[in-house]
Amino acid sequence: MPKFRVGFIGTGRKPERAGPMGYAMAYAHADAYKLLPDCELVACADIVEENARAFAQTYGITSVYTTHKEMLEKEQLDIVSICTWPMTHAELVIDCAVAGVKAIHCEKPMDYTWGAARLMAQECERRGVRLTFNHQRRFGKPFRMAKQLLDEGVVGELVRVEFGAGNLYDYGSHNFDMCNYFNNETLAEWVIAQIDYRTENLVFGTHNENQAYALWKYRNGVWGVASTGAGAKLVGAHHRIIGSDGIIELGSMEPGAPALRYRRFGKGEWEVVDCGNEGMHGPGYIERAIADIVAALREGRESELCARNALNATEIIFACYESVRRRGRVDLPLTITNNPLVDLVERGEIKPRPKG
């Protein structure tokens, strides 16, 4: 069976220390593809030639480009990983789809605007292209085991999902995705939120609030709560799952707390679930995620990382910012096309002071 030809857009420069200006995610993607016998790494593109060549040398790639369009035109790629900043995602995804790429695996968040996120998902669906996003925590043992506990009724019926995080958009993309995962991808019905954005916080070139509180309700009656930034400790965990009979906590912020624990109401002690060496961030999550998107392509099935699931999370994120703009509750589905937080900043209604 022929191997899938894999290409990369946005290799980046592998930093000595990862941070809000870059994680060089293309390297993490490439490491994952290299583990799969049915994948062949054949091409890469970066607007900085030095970065592309360093990446190519690391992985034995012979075809190096400084424009993604030239790569797409010449290489007949089956799979493309897009590891650029969010505001470029929709254009690059659509270019890949038009070029006939079979599967596109894109970094999160989906895009800088709700309209662009919807557009690229629609274009890929229309062309029969498999579009996925790197919400890799779906493949982490603590998260899988938490879902198993929930499905087995250990804490009763699901009542509320909560998370504490640095922000709603960049890292929050993972958190909202997992909230939806725990609630079986049920769509949200409405969202109400407020933020504080007093100091400029650009993550991969995108505005992210300093602090937020959000409340949303799903169509099945389950509630969602998010508290970010300085308020993250209100929730006090990466995720808290509240059932009718107990609580499941992932990544408690208490010193020395395990990755996963649960407690039934009426019982004082937490029960610890052994997740091996796995925590909130890995190891091995990206490897499993990419193995799934490749297997889905080979088997003709939908990956858990599909655009449909990513849109569910992204809609809640932009609805939070739209609630801030409207100063009220936002009923879904969301009908805007832009990024409300960016709009508020550009119109001077929110004036974050320069960082540093």
Peptide bond into 15 cis (omega under 30): no
With CA atoms as reference, report the closest residue to 261 among 343, 154, 340.
154
Class of domain 137-281+306-356: alpha beta
Give residue 128's pLDDT: 98
| C-alpha separations of 187 from 109, 191, 203, 227 in Å | 18, 11, 27, 20
pLDDT value of position 17: 63
- Residue 94 Cα distances to 72, 152, 178, 196, angstroms: 12, 41, 26, 34
Three-state secondary structure call for residue 107: coil
End-to-end CA distance of the chain: 55
Contact assessment for residue 214 and residue 191, using Cβ atoms and an 8 Å cutoff: yes
Instruction: Give 108's DSSP letter.
Output: S
Task: Show pLDDT as tens, one digit a residue, over the chain (356 residues).
Answer: 789 999 999 999 987 666 555 678 999 999 999 999 999 999 999 999 999 999 999 999 999 999 999 999 999 999 999 999 999 999 999 999 999 999 999 999 999 999 999 999 999 999 999 999 999 999 999 999 999 999 999 999 999 999 999 999 999 999 999 999 999 999 999 999 999 999 999 999 999 999 999 999 999 999 999 999 999 999 999 999 999 999 999 999 999 999 999 999 998 899 999 999 999 999 999 999 999 999 999 999 999 999 999 999 999 999 999 999 999 999 999 999 999 999 999 999 999 999 87
Lookup result for tokens 């190096």:
64
Domain layout of the chain by residue ranges? 4-136+283-305, 137-281+306-356
Give one DSSP letter per residue of 43-87, joined into a string: EEE-SSHHHHHHHHHHHT--EEES-HHHHHHHH--SEEEE-S-GG
Task: Give the start-end residues of each E strand in 97-221.
Answer: 103-106, 130-133, 158-165, 188-196, 202-203, 206-207, 211-218
Q: Which residues contact 206 (CB under 8 A, 6 or more apart)?
A: 85, 86, 87, 109, 112, 169, 170
Same fold, 4-136+283-305 and 137-281+306-356: no
Please choose, from the candidates 69, 130, 124, the residue with its C-alpha nearest in 3D space to the C-alpha of residue 105: 130
Residue 24's pLDDT is 86
Right CATH for 4-136+283-305 from 3.40.50.300, 3.30.70.20, 3.40.50.720, 3.10.100.10: 3.40.50.720
Q: Is 248 strand, coil or helix?
A: strand
Torsion of CA 199, 203, 208, 212, to 10 degrees: -90
State the pLDDT at residue 22: 60
* DSSP structure string for 186-206: PPEEEEEEEEE--B--EETTE
Omega cis (within 30) before 20: no
pLDDT of residue 49: 98
Report the distance separating Cα 290 and Cα 132, nearest Å.
10
